[in-house]
Structure 1
Amino acid sequence: MKLYSALIGLSFIWGLSFVFIKWLLDPIGVWGTVFFRCFAGALVLLPFLWIKRKELKGPLPWKALFFVGVFNAGLPWGLIAWSETEIHSSTAAVMNALTPICTGLVGFMFFSILLKRRQWVGIVLGFVGILVLMDFNIFDLFSESFIGIGTMILATISYGVASQYTKKHLQETSILLVTTCSLLVAALFGLAGMVLTNSVSVINEDVLSRPLVWLSIIGLGCFGSGFAHLLFYYMVKNGSAEFATSVTYIIPVTAMVWGYVLLDEPITKNIVLGLVIIFAGVYLATRKPRRSIQQAAA
């Protein structure tokens, strides 16, 4: 019961994150959202990392940690925020469900991982789901309308690159260390983005005095990027990795509910149909053969 409560709780936290991003975009901008999100998340995890510091052995793989920080947090979270300047939070959440499919595709293209026929079918289905979300206006991806659907695709590809790289180079590294360092690197990445886009001046006393800004920073950073990861680790440890990652299937649904209730976003037929098709693709792309599951359970 505790595991299922954690699963539902995590899906609501991460589903609500897309609403928090929407609320932060106007007052602090794309890169301000990345910076405050990551900085707040790191503040939550640093005390836990300090407590576990004696368990860390050997030199830290700084280059790998920096790479993962950029591609697993800084860059994709900036792209997601940028996407939400043009599309609904619920649409962004549905697009985010493509991450397992893009992870498999990145593994095939850059990490010499062979894909089976059903996985290719899953990848094709995932991109059919994208076309449904776009109402089959594929030429929008090659025009000014690229920001939105296109940038969300890039965000999921970035997640895929980081996941495959982590599996190859940080397999023996503490997950807590990887997450905390990723957030610190991503916070610097967001700060650099603010400087380069001259958006630092946007963060003034008036902005920081708004309750909704602080609510969103705490919700997105402390809970969505901090406590949520601890909840995820709890499910991995006391359940299984497969059980924990099943939250991917629930997040778009909770995000649609939050978007409808808090942002008055419509739940269209295209969103629902696109979500179902993408879920079917994710299932085929990530499903393990029954034989291997039985062997793992033996």
Structure 2
Amino acid sequence: MSENTTKWVYLFVLSLIWGSSFILMKKALLGVSAFQLGALRTIFTTIILFTVGFKHVKTIDKTAWKWIALSGVFGSFLPAFLFAIAETEIDSAIASILNSLVPLQTVLVGFAVFQIASTKRQVLGVVLGFLGTALLVMEGADLNPHQNYLYAGFIVLATVMYAFNVNIIKRYLQHLKPITIATGNYVVIVIPALIVLVLTGFFRSSSLQHSELKMALLYVFILSFFGTALAKVLFNKLIKIATPVFASSVTYVMPIVALTWGFLDGEGFVVLQGLAALIILLGVYFANKKA
């Protein structure tokens, strides 16, 4: 398989996995709090990654650890909590739609902080994707006027962090294997996650035997295995073989998957949202079409 074909396969698989992550968070929040969800997701992912990747940690050179730490905090630790908090107020599909801001943030952060140039075609693609996203958000607001859209700010903040993570990996961690980067990330963030979980009173809870919690833990494990551990390794591989903008454009396709899950779960969907999804796909095409 050619490298060009491989990166599109990664894009499709990641879109399917991450697009399904939002409904899993929604279901998990029925049995745990937002902070417990963020902490448990980090801890479960650490256990999964350590079983296959801990031996790679020793290959990380001393100069890379600061970038591994920043990548872990910006790319995994804080967003896990920010998305969980946001989904206590807004639909899972809307959360995915807002996540489509990542490519725009990647271009802006790459240009402003990392001096990574973007072509006019990439900018056009990002703008189209952003317009499609805006249309989806407006329609979501009309369908769900009772939702508190101030919580969307948590997701916007997470997209900025994701943009920093993409550029950090592309610029400073290219010499490391994807599994090495992912495992190193969680070496750094697992202790803070454990502290957060303890502070939430999770282990003192009298509801540890409740069926809602058991189902929530199952959803968190599935989310951790596929949506975090496996997806993080695949995403790191994608960053290595593609541009930062192409890698982040996975967030353009995710809303289509998330909208499908949301529709099946009773969340609203109208024809105009379908049109917005097509605009998003057009943005992906332009952002990645060779001159």
User: Per the shorter chain, which TM-score range?
Assistant: 0.7 to 0.9
Identify the range of structure 1 (7-16 vs 17-26) with the bigger mean alpha-carbon deviation: 7-16
Aligned match of 1:84: 87
| Residue aligned with 1:97, SS | helix
- 5+ long unaligned stretches in structure 1: 138-143, 291-298
Q: Which residue, out of 20, 29, 33, partners 2:24?
A: 20
Segment drifting more, 75-84 vs 62-71: 75-84
TM superposition shift of 1:77: 2.2
Distance 2:54 2:197 in 1: 29
**Any unmatched runs of 5+ in structure 2?**
142-147
Instruction: Give the drift of 1:20.
Output: 1.4
1:175 to partner: Cα distance = 1.7
Say yes or no: does 1:115 pair with 2:118: yes
* Residues 5/169 of structure 1: CA separation in 2 closer, same or farther (3 Å cut): closer
Map of 1:251 onto structure 2:
254
The corresponding residue for 1:276 is: 278
Distance 1:274 1:87, change over 3 A: farther
CA 1:241–1:287: 2 relative to 1, 3 Å: closer
Q: How big is the alpha-carbon RMSD for the aligned residues of Structure 1 and Structure 2? A: 3.5
1:220 aligns with 2:223: yes
Provide the rounded CA distance (Å) in 2 between the counterparts of 1:281 and 1:71. 25
Output the TM-score relative to the length of structure 1.
0.76
Offset, 1:257: 2.0
Q: Number of residues paired by the alignment?
A: 276
Amino acid at match of 1:204: S
The answer as to whether partners of 2:170 and 2:239 remain within 8 angstroms in 1 is no
Distance 1:79 1:110 in 2: 23
Per-residue displacement from partner, 1:230-256 (whole Å, max 9, x unpaired)?
55678899xx65898775554322222
Instruction: Report which stretch shifted further, 12-21 or 121-130.
Output: 121-130
TM-score normalised to structure 2 length: 0.78
Partner of 2:99: 96
1:274-294 CA deviation, whole Å, 9 max, x = no partner?
Answer: 33333333443x32534xxxx
Judging changes above 3 Å, is the alpha-carbon distance between structure 1 residues 126 and 254 closer, same or farther for their aligned structure 2 residues?
Answer: closer
Are 1:64 and 2:71 matched, yes or no? no
Q: Distance in 1 between matches of 2:9 and 2:109?
A: 33
Cross-structure match for 1:46:
50
Native 8 Å contact 2:29 2:216 kept in 1 = no
Give the whole-Å Cα distance in 2 for the aligned partners of 1:91 and 1:13: 17
| Residue of structure 2 equivalent to 1:267 | 269
Cα distance change of structure 1 residues 83 and 282 upon mapping to structure 2, 3 Å threshold: farther
- Output aligned runs, 1:169-208, within 5 Å: 169-191=172-194, 193=196, 199-201=200-202, 204-207=205-208
Check the 8 A contact 1:10/1:228 in 2, yes or no. Answer: yes
Q: Which residue of 2 aligns with 1:287?
A: 288
Query: Residue 27 of structure 1: SS of its match in structure 2?
Result: coil
Q: Look up the SS of the partner of 1:206 in the other structure.
A: coil
Query: 2:145: which partner in 1?
Result: none
Q: In the TM superposition, what is the alpha-carbon distance from 1:219 to its structure 2 partner? A: 0.6
1:43-77: CA deviations, max 9, x gaps? 111122235467x2643622211111110011222
Cα displacement (A) at 1:186: 3.8
